[in-house]
Structure 1
Amino acid sequence: MDSTLMKGLRVLETLARSHEPRGVSELARQLDLTRSNVHRTLQTLTAAGYARQGSTPGTYECTLKLFELSSAVMDRVDVTRVAAPHMRRLAEVTEETVHLSTLSGAEVVYLDKIESPQPVRAYSSIGGRAPAHCVASGKALLAELSESNVDALFGDEVPASTGRGVRDRTELAAELASIRERGYAVNHGEWRESVGGVAAVIVNAAGAVEASIGVSGPLERVEPNSGGSYRDAVVEAARAISLDLGCTAYPPRRESRT
């Protein structure tokens, strides 16, 4: 492993997630690196066009080069383009926040989102992450993995974020089996106690899972609808996107998960 490259990526990721320019000493303390190491890294990132000096002397911030690269990658992810009109329709029907998500290890990453117009709503960001087993969008995706792949992501103990989530592999396996049976996943305040969600998977022409689509919002609004209008709207959106991607039958055929 190239340790210099890894340090550079850590600095770049920290800058990208910062809401304001960061100083060398501040970054060094946060990342447990020496000031000289951080300074050299920032100079290299600046020369490469990924960083620039901030408005306050001695601080640095990201340029738009990362955005340009991520946009080029996203342009190749057809599911985001195909899903866009269906996401808008789902947002209009439910008036809740809509997410398009994918798995990254044991976490779910938000590829795209539409914010709820409600004054009280679920907050998230594109590129943000959440523990997959604690949110509906992640659980829907986990349910499509083989048992061996799920075992590789989780040990015997499954960390719960609130008192509502599954706590071990036995409970998780039962939950994923239930999701496969009914065709959608529900989050009952398992990541944030006051936030719930409903999600279903999107599949492509080959029958492979591309992403998941779901709604999230305050538990008191989402939970009464998780077995009714929200569920139906989410599953219909997932079906419509899947058909647009070339899927010939939805829900996807359930293969053995061993």
Structure 2
Amino acid sequence: MDTTLQKGLMILEALAKTAEPRSVEDLALQTELNESNVQSALEAFEFAGYLAREPATGRYELSLKLWGLGVGLLSRLDLKRAAQRHLSELALRTRETVHLSVLTGADVIYVDKIDSPELLHASSQIGGKAPAHAVAIGKAILAFQPAHIIEGIGRNLAVFTPKTVNSLEALQHELSTIRLQGYAVNLGEWRGAVYGLAAPIRRADGVVEAAVGISGPSTRLTPEMIALVAEQVVEAADGISRGLGYRGGQG
């Protein structure tokens, strides 16, 4: 293998192992490469759009463009296969748009979806993204992440509507509620007229990296309707988790 390419892949793998931006010095230490080689590789990846650099600190992190390359692969992985039947059943039962998503950085990526048959419905696209703190499917995942990840996201919360959570303290309080009740809701926090409901999906080892949820217009997916269908969404998430090999209780 070309040594330059090999070094670049080592750096990408090092960045993929953490949700926090990394400095040139940190990456050089972890990969055992000299700093000039690391700096050159980082600049090349940034120029190509595969990395993003924090202006204030000069640290680097993976970009959504890199995640986008994996969307085709994700469609063939265990998560989507395990979810297919449950997504279809949830779509039939609720008649709302159903999403399957994973967390990347401060956003969620839509891995799969089934559109609502209703004329008025929530729209999205596979491979699209949404701010994790402002949508139910993102909060359902965030609630089960380590404290340092939640704190990192909570320090820079973009506000999209008057209902968007706008402080770390408010986010932490809501995530605590989600952990207790087992599902998350979004009452117009990203797009004012769209409400949502989602539940976490666990891997075989119990780690939460994905969620399943429904989204719909606020005129139809009212708080009362959310309370009625919450159990169905949780059942779908639990079924997908079992398909991935998870055998524990709700955590």
The alignment's TM-score, normalised by the length of structure 1, stands at 0.70
One-letter code aligned to 2:126: I
Deviation at 1:68, TM superposition (A): 9.1
Note if 1:202 corresponds to 2:201.
yes
Alignment of 1:25-40 (within 5 A): none
1 CA distance for matches of 2:73 and 2:244? 20
Larger radius of gyration: 1
* Residue number in structure 2 paired with 1:234: 233
Alignment of 1:165-180 (within 5 A): 165-180=164-179
Alignment of 1:13-32 (within 5 A): none
One-letter code aligned to 1:6: E
2 CA distance for matches of 1:127 and 1:84? 17
Q: Is the 8 A contact 1:106 1:154 kept in 2?
A: no
- SS of equivalent residue, structure 2 residue 111: strand
Deviation at 1:172, TM superposition (A): 0.6
* Residue number in structure 2 paired with 1:181: 180
One-letter code aligned to 2:192: E
2 CA distance for matches of 1:5 and 1:210? 26
- SS of equivalent residue, structure 1 residue 225: helix
Deviation at 1:250, TM superposition (A): 3.8
The alignment's TM-score, normalised by the length of structure 2, stands at 0.72
1:206/1:164 CA distance change after superposition, 3 Å: same
* Residue number in structure 2 paired with 1:25: none
2 CA distance for matches of 1:67 and 1:9? 11
2 CA distance for matches of 1:129 and 1:153? 15
* Residue number in structure 2 paired with 1:125: 125
Alignment of 1:141-156 (within 5 A): 141-155=141-155
2 CA distance for matches of 1:119 and 1:245? 34
After superposition, the CA RMSD in angstroms is 2.0
2 CA distance for matches of 1:114 and 1:175? 27
- SS of equivalent residue, structure 2 residue 201: strand
CA displacement, residues 102-150 of structure 1 (integer Å, 9 cap, x when unaligned): 1111111101000110000001000111110100000000100122221
One-letter code aligned to 1:205: A
What percentage of aligned pairs have identical amino acids? Answer: 41
* Residue number in structure 2 paired with 1:57: none
Deviation at 1:165, TM superposition (A): 1.7
Q: Is the 8 A contact 1:144 1:209 kept in 2?
A: yes
* Residue number in structure 1 paired with 2:243: 244
2 CA distance for matches of 1:207 and 1:197? 24
Count of residues in Structure 1 that have an aligned counterpart in Structure 2: 194
2 CA distance for matches of 1:72 and 1:235? 26
Q: Is there any run of 5+ residues in structure 2 with no aligned partner, and where?
A: 1-38, 51-66
Q: Is the 8 A contact 1:110 1:125 kept in 2?
A: yes
Deviation at 1:225, TM superposition (A): 1.2
1:122/1:82 CA distance change after superposition, 3 Å: same
* Residue number in structure 2 paired with 1:8: 48
1 CA distance for matches of 2:150 and 2:124? 25
Q: Is the 8 A contact 1:239 1:250 kept in 2?
A: no
* Residue number in structure 2 paired with 1:74: 75
Q: Is there any run of 5+ residues in structure 1 with no aligned partner, and where?
A: 11-65, 254-258
* Residue number in structure 2 paired with 1:109: 109
1:176/1:5 CA distance change after superposition, 3 Å: closer
Q: Is the 8 A contact 2:103 2:209 kept in 1?
A: no
